[in-house]
Chain A
Amino acid sequence: MELTASQKDALTELINIGYARAAAALSDLTGHRISLEVPEVAIHLIPEISEKLQRVIVGEVASINQVFSGPINGNAILLLDRGAAMLLNNLLTDRSAASDLDGAAREVITEVGNIVLNACLGAFGNLLKIQVSFTVPHLQIETVQKVLRSITVSGDELEYALIIHTRFHMRASDVSGYLVIILGVTSLERLLMELQKWEERELS
Chain B
Amino acid sequence: MQVMSEIIDDSASPREGALLSWIQQFAPFGVVTLDESLRVQSWNGWMGQHSARKFEEIKGQNLFSLFPDLKERKLTSYFERALQGESSVLSTSLHRYLLPLPSPFRETDEGHMLQTARIAPLFSGEKVCGVVLVIEDVTQRESQAQTLHRQHRRDELLSWTLAQLLNSYRPRKEIRQLFFKVAEQLDFDTFLVYFGDVPAGTLTLDSMGGIPTQFESGFIDCPFLKVLPRESFAATVLNSIQTHEEPEYAVLRKAGISSAVIIPLSAKNRSLGLLCFATGTRDSIHADESDLVTTIGQYLATALDRDDTNQMLNKAKEELSAHSRLLETRVRERTARLQETISELETFSYTVAHDLRAPARGTTGYCEVLLEDFASELPSEAKSIVGHIKKLSNRMEMLTRDLLEFTKVSRQEAPLSRIKIEPMIKEILSFYDPAVRQAVTVRAPLYSVLAHEGLLQQVFSNLIENAIKFVPPGTAPKIVIFSELVPEGSPNTRSRSLEFSSTESSSPEEARTRPSPSADHVRIWVQDEGIGIAREAHQKIFGIFERALTSDLYQGTGIGLAIVARAMQRMGGTCGVESELGKGSRFWLELPST
> Which chain A residues have a beta carbon within 8 Å of chain B's beta carbons?
25, 28-30, 66, 70, 89, 92-93, 95-96, 98-99, 102-105, 107-108, 110-111, 114-115, 118, 121-122, 125, 131-137
Contacts and interface: CB of A to CB of B under 8 A. Distances in A.
Nearest to A113: B89
Contacts of B89: 107, 110-111, 114, 136-137
A107 B93 contact: yes
B83 to A, nearest CB: 11
Residue picked from B85, B88, B89, B152, most chain A C-beta under 10 Å: B89
Interface of B: 74, 77, 81, 84-94, 116, 118, 120-121, 123, 126, 128, 138, 141-142, 145, 149, 152-153
A108 B141 contact: no
B153 A96 contact: yes
A132 B86 CA distance: 8
Contact of B141 (A95, A103, A118, A121): A103
What are the 10 closest A-B residue pairs judged by CB atoms, nearest first?
A107-B91, A133-B85, A111-B91, A93-B93, A136-B87, A108-B91, A108-B93, A114-B89, A104-B93, A118-B86
Contacts of A107: 89, 91-93, 116
A98 B126 CA distance: 43
A111 B90 contact: yes
Given A28-B74, A102-B145, A131-B85, A136 B120 contact: yes
B91 A104 contact: yes
Contacts of A114: 87-89
15 contacts: A29-B94, A70-B85, A99-B152, A103-B145, A107-B91, A107-B116, A108-B94, A111-B89, A114-B87, A118-B81, A131-B85, A132-B85, A133-B85, A134-B86, A136-B118
Contacts of B152: 98-99
A110 B81 contact: no
Contacts of A121: 86
Given A111-B89, A137-B89, 5 more contacts: A104-B92, A110-B91, A111-B90, A136-B120, A137-B87
A131 B126 contact: yes
A104 B91 CA distance: 7
B187 to A, nearest CB: 15
Contacts of A93: 93-94
Contacts of B116: 107
A92 B86 contact: no
B121 A133 contact: yes
A66 B142 CA distance: 26
A110 B153 CA distance: 25
B91 to A, nearest CB: 3
Given A104-B145, A105-B93, A122-B81, A135 B87 contact: yes
Given A28-B74, A133-B123, A118 B145 contact: no
Residue picked from A30, A103, A110, A122, most chain B C-beta under 10 Å: A103
A27 to B, nearest CB: 12
A103 B86 CA distance: 23
Nearest to A106: B91
A66 B87 contact: yes
A111 B90 CA distance: 6
A104 B81 contact: no
A25 B121 CA distance: 19
Contact of B85 (A30, A111, A125): A125
Contacts of A105: 93
B129 to A, nearest CB: 12
Nearest to A29: B94
Contacts of A99: 152
Contacts of B123: 133
A132 B142 CA distance: 35
A92 B81 contact: no
A28 B73 CA distance: 10
Contacts of A137: 87, 89
Contact of B84 (A29, A110, A122, A135): A122
A104 B148 CA distance: 13
A5 B145 CA distance: 50
B359 to A, nearest CB: 104
B486 to A, nearest CB: 70
Contacts of B121: 133
Contacts of A29: 94
A168 to B, nearest CB: 15
Residue picked from B85, B120, B153, most chain A C-beta under 10 Å: B85
A102 B142 CA distance: 10
Nearest to A66: B87
A189 to B, nearest CB: 21
Nearest to A137: B89
A25 B123 CA distance: 25
A104 B86 CA distance: 22
Residue picked from A28, A98, A107, A115, most chain B C-beta under 10 Å: A107
